[in-house]
């Protein structure tokens, strides 16, 4: 049996051009190859779509075209991409051949161009006896995206995060006992699911390893399917064991920057106990990703722009906050004026200032200032001198003395770097006049003067 396996179409207003061009190509190719059946393993849409959305209309058009040439099985994908109920309308459009929508865990047989579904998760004894007696072209074991809320209610919230693989493994083992009897009778068995295999590789080259993924390869092969067709991961990849194959079709389009490998759909040739899957590339858009550790190198960008043509380009760089304006975004946009799209992603590094190490262990304020000056690479003596003035005199007296000492000559010398501090008169004692030369000040009791000592550095 020849099966066209397509997955992760992600139709949406944002992805419409890419999704429709690539899916249309896959439909045309499957029809030209005279495939026997088509399987769409989840995420046909990218998010909830209105009934009048052009993206939904284009998806429906291609599903209808596909059903004119072969039966179609559509699997429920991730709930955030395909809200439950999204696919039900597609089951109404199968005029020449049926479109079956698998929204629950079940087994489905295809016999003489019609689908027959199990009442429960697997065929019961009566249903299995009927399939074995009448025969079937193929039996699909359908495992759509699992509702984590229902899983938590069944196994407990504590075990929901890591117990999904065990629960699905038990189901696949139960389905495997049914599929083994079907294979022994010469009936083809195909698994269809949507989820993450522990150890698979994403389209960005990241290995998915952890305890919260849906499947292990061992559990998938225990389902005893001749072919197991997966969706959710956008990179095509496959594993083989004893002639049986587990494979991701990947996505037909390139919806993100930096995706690795060819995009397309899988053309399967399935026999009892043996399966082969061929990736058929689609005309997905080409992307160019350029990353800089610092500011963009305009010469390098110019060389890339000369070869980029009409590709989709993303340029990333990182720069300190003080130098963010040094990057000429307009010049970069001018270089890639011929690109289909240009995405600029600057990363601004904030200035981080740390406390001076060891300043807290110094016994005096003078030593604290000197330690800070060492870390800041500044001269400590002028700062210490000014601190002592603040410590010994009243702020009003200091300000008055500074203003009185700023003669015309001193202003000129200050302009060329003279940092000399004018001498200050002795502060008046409380027993004498409450004034100092050139200024009138109020005597502050010692109890009210403590703020100067406590909040000196904060001020």
The domain segmentation of the chain, as residue ranges, is: 2-281, 287-349
Residues 6+ apart with CB under 8 A from 332: 296, 298, 301, 315, 342, 344
Minimum mean pLDDT range among 65-69, 133-137, 153-157, 404-408: 153-157
pLDDT for 148 equals: 67
How high does pLDDT run on average in the chain? Answer: 84
Please give the average per-residue pLDDT across 212-227, as a whole number.
88
Asked if pLDDT for residue 171 goes beyond 70, the answer is: yes
pLDDT for 451 equals: 43
Region 2-281: CATH code: 3.60.21.10
User: Percent helix, strand, coil in the chain (nearest 5)?
Assistant: 35, 25, 40
Please give the average per-residue pLDDT across 293-313, as a whole number.
89
Asked if pLDDT for residue 98 goes beyond 90, the answer is: yes
* pLDDT band at 157; cut points 50, 70, 90: low
* pLDDT band at 156; cut points 50, 70, 90: low
Encode pLDDT of 25-59 as tens digits: 999 999 999 999 999 999 999 999 999 999 999 99
Residues 6+ apart with CB under 8 A from 49: 11, 12, 55, 56, 86
Cα 162 from Cα 419, distance rounded (Å): 69
Closest CA to 43 of 192, 221, 172: 192
DSSP 138: E
By CB neighbour count within 10 A (0-12 exposed, 13-18 middle, 19+ buried), where does 32 fall?
exposed
Encode pLDDT of 15-28 as tens digits: 999 999 999 999 99
* pLDDT band at 140; cut points 50, 70, 90: very high
DSSP 197: B
- Stronger pLDDT, 184 or 325, i.e. the higher one: 184
Cα 167 from Cα 8, distance rounded (Å): 25
pLDDT for 419 equals: 46
Of 92-101, 273-282, 368-377, which has the strongest mean pLDDT? 273-282
pLDDT for 169 equals: 86
SS3 318: strand
* pLDDT band at 150; cut points 50, 70, 90: low
* pLDDT band at 151; cut points 50, 70, 90: low
Closest CA to 262 of 199, 206, 203, 311: 203
Minimum mean pLDDT range among 127-141, 143-157, 169-183, 335-349: 143-157
SS3 351: coil
Six token digits for residue 384: 């210490």
DSSP 169-181: HHHHHHHHHHHHH
Cα 11 from Cα 417, distance rounded (Å): 68
DSSP 360: G
Is residue 264 a contact partner of residue 26, using CB atoms and an 8 Å limit?
yes
Encode pLDDT of 111-129 as tens digits: 999 999 999 999 999 999 9
Residues 6+ apart with CB under 8 A from 321: 348, 349, 350, 351
Determine what percent of the chain is predicted with pLDDT higher than 70: 83
Encode pLDDT of 353-365 as tens digits: 666 677 888 888 8
Asked if pLDDT for residue 442 goes beyond 70, the answer is: no
Is residue 129 a contact partner of residue 112, using CB atoms and an 8 Å limit?
no
């Amino acid at each position: 049996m020849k099966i066209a396996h397509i997955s992760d179409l992600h139709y949406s207003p944002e992805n419409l051009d890419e999704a429709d061009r690539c899916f249309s190509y896959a439909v045309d190719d499957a029809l030209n190859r005279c495939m026997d059946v088509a399987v769409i393993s989840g995420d046909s849409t990218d998010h909830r779509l209105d009934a009048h959305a052009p993206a939904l209309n284009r998806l429906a058009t291609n599903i209808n075209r596909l059903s004119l040439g072969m039966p179609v099985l559509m699997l429920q994908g991730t709930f955030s991409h395909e809200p439950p109920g999204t696919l039900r309308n597609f089951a109404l459009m199968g005029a020449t051949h049926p479109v079956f929508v698998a929204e629950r865990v079940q087994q489905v047989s295809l016999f003489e161009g019609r689908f027959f579904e199990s009442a429960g998760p697997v065929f019961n004894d009566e249903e299995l006896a009927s399939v074995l007696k009448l025969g079937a072209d193929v039996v699909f074991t359908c495992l759509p995206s699992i509702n984590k809320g229902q899983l938590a209610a069944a196994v407990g919230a504590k075990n929901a995060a890591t117990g999904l693989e065990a629960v699905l493994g038990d189901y696949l083992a139960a389905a495997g006992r049914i599929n083994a009897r079907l294979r022994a009778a010469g009936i083809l068995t195909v698994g269809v699911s949507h989820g993450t295999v522990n150890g698979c590789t994403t389209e960005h080259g990241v290995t998915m390893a952890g305890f919260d993924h849906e499947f292990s390869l061992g559990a998938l092969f225990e389902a005893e399917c001749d072919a197991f067709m997966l969706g959710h991961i956008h990179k095509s990849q496959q594993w083989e064991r004893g002639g049986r194959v587990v494979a991701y079709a990947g996505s037909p389009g390139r919806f993100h920057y930096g995706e690795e490998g060819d995009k397309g759909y899988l053309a399967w040739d399935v026999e009892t106990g043996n399966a082969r899957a061929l990736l058929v590339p689609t005309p997905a858009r080409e992307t160019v990703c350029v990353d800089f550790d610092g500011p963009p190198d305009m010469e390098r960008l110019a060389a890339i722009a000369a070869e980029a043509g009409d590709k989709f380009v993303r340029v990333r760089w990182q720069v300190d906050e003080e130098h963010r304006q040094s990057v000429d975004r307009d010049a970069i946009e001018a270089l890639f004026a011929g690109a289909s799209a240009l995405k600029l992603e600057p990363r601004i590094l904030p200035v981080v200032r740390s406390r001076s190490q060891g300043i807290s262990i110094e016994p005096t304020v003078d030593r604290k200032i000197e330690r800070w000056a060492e870390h800041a690479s500044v001269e400590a003596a002028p700062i210490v001198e000014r601190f002592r003035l603040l410590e010994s005199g009243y702020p009003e007296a200091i300000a008055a003395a500074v203003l009185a000492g700023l003669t015309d000559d001193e202003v000129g010398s200050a302009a060329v770097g003279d940092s000399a501090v004018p001498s200050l008169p002795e502060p008046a004692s409380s027993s004498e006049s409450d004034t100092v030369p050139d200024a009138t000040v109020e005597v502050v009791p010692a109890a009210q003067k403590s703020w100067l000592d406590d909040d000196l550095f904060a001020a």
